[in-house]
Amino acid sequence: MSVKRIDHIAIVVSDIDEATAFYRDVLGLPVAHTERVDEQEVIVACLPTGDSDIELIQPVDETSGVAKYLAKHGPGIHHICLEVEDIEQSLADLKAAGVKLINREPTIGAGGKRIAFLHPKSAHGVLIELSEAAK
């Protein structure tokens, strides 16, 4: 598996408008776009910081994994996304290495990109997302 860069760092928030106002108006980051990602049951605001983005994510219902995370831990860093060349190859390599996966097959994330999550138990307590580079 070949990692190209950090695609984004995702921060879970309970109020995306309030959080966006802080990151945009106080920290001065641009807001590239906001979208609802039905597959992940979240609203995402994407704030570019050079080669990587900060993503603010707010759950849209109470039963999703993100909503449960927010209820348990409060707002904060939720996951780090690594961009990989080939997500299928990466998942095959990780399976072969015995890594615990949340998504054994790619699913759809923000921007329609193909993504998959690794289980934090296999990554020293960090939820890691893989995202395939746009071709």
**Residue 53 near residue 31 (C-beta atoms within 8 A):** no
Strands annotated E in 50-112: 52-59, 76-84, 107-108
**Closest distance of CB 75 from Co ion, Å:** 15
Smallest distance from the beta carbon of 108 to Co ion, in angstroms?
A: 12
CB of 129 vs Co ion, minimal distance in Å: 5
Give 14 or 107: the residue with its C-beta nearer to Co ion: 107
Residues that bind Co ion (CB under 5 A): 10, 81, 129
Beta bridge partners of 115: 107, 131
Query: Nearest-CA neighbor of 122 among 101, 105, 93?
Result: 101
Nearest residue (CB) to Co ion, 83 versus 129: 129
